[in-house]
Structures are given as structure tokens and as C-alpha cells.
A = this chain, B = another copy of it.
Amino acid sequence: MSEKDQNTEAQILNAARNVFIRKGYHGARMQEIANEAGMNKALVHYYFRSKEKLFRQIFMDVFARFFPAIGNVLTNEEMPVMKKIEFFVHSYIDLLAENSFIASFIIMEINRDPEETLNLMQEITGDMRGQYFAGFKASLDKAIENEEVAPVDFRQLIINTISMCVFPFIGRPLVQFMMFNNDNDAFEAFLENRKHEVVQFINAALKPANSK
């Protein structure tokens, strides 16, 4: 594989990533990818046989970068639960803010073809799926026992947390329109605040009943 090879390949991957993320699988056109990469359509097929093969690679790249953020935080045994959550919320919202279409893209694709998409995801998560959460559950339950946090089901808590982080990005056009008169800057500011607000919200919700 020559230098030029890697270069063109990278150009294609880059263009494909943009187009697929913007338009989704059905909306994306091989021609548009070729144009955006500044080359002939046949060349795209020369490097990646078919649209589907190209898409798979893109999806896995995107998801592979997106997924570990969850795992790394939940896995760290040392950190107290509430710190874990704080760290998670901050890094997740930052990640999404910098890659604003990733969340919609993943959601879009998993709803388009759940079976296939789950297969791709499994190749990345492997068997680790359950482990991530088991670790979190353990340390959460311990904290509950020590009455550091109020009793709560770990799944509900995780989903509450992820929901509050992810939804504003997925539903951004809608939310921005409905609640911010479509004012971009106002919404950006809102997102910046949100990191702290969400943490505070969860923190308050988890305050044990007998604390002051």
C-alpha cells in the first residue's frame, strides 16, 4: 500500500464519514461521496467494493470512538459514584458538542436496520457489554448501602443520565425551535450550562432521605 493509497483511502473515508453522517445510509449517494473526496466515483468502488461495505467501516469507526466514553467511566472502581456520574456527564456532553451529528447518526441507523447495526456494534463491544454496567451497579449498590445515595435502580439511573445528555443533541433542531426561537447562540449557551445543571439535578435526586 503506497503513500498515495493511504491518502486517497483516507480522503474517501473522510468524505464518506461526512456524507453518511449528514444524510444517513439511504440518503447518502456514492456520487456525493466521490465529489466530496474530489475524485471519480469508480475510484470509491475500487477501494471499497460497495456502498454497504463502505458504510460498515464508517459506522464502526464512528461507533468505536463513541462507545468507550461510556465504558471507561463506569469501569473505574475507585471513583465514588457521584464523581463517576459527574465525569461521565461532562465528557459526554463535550464529546457530543464537538461531534454534533454522531448521536443522531447512530440513532438513525439503529432504527433503520436494528439487526445489522447491532451486529456491527457487537463486533466492537464484544462481550464487555454486561461488564461495564455490572461494575457500576456494584459500586452504586455499595453507596446505597452506606446511605451515601438514595436507593435507585442502576439501570434507571444510567438511562436517566444518558437520556439527559444525549437527547438535546438528537432533538436539537426541534428543541432549539420550540424553546429558543431557533436562536443558535442561545441554545449553545444553554448546552454549556447544561453540563452543570444535569449533574446538579442528578445529585439532588440521589440525595439520601435522611441527609440534612
Contact = CB atoms under 8 A, between A and B. Distances in A.
Task: Classify the interface of chain A: helix, strand, loop or mixed.
Answer: helix
Contact of A193 (B110, B156, B206): B156
A14 interface: no
A106 interface: yes
A150 B204 contact: yes
Given A107-B170, A163-B167, 6 more contacts: A108-B111, A125-B178, A152-B197, A155-B190, A159-B167, A159-B175
Interface string A166-189: 111011011101110110000000
Contacts of A111: 101, 104, 108, 170, 173
Copies of this protein, total: 2
A130 interface: yes
A interface, size bucket: 35 or more
Contacts of A125: 178
Nearest to A186: B155
A202 interface: yes
Contacts of A174: 106-107, 110, 118, 121
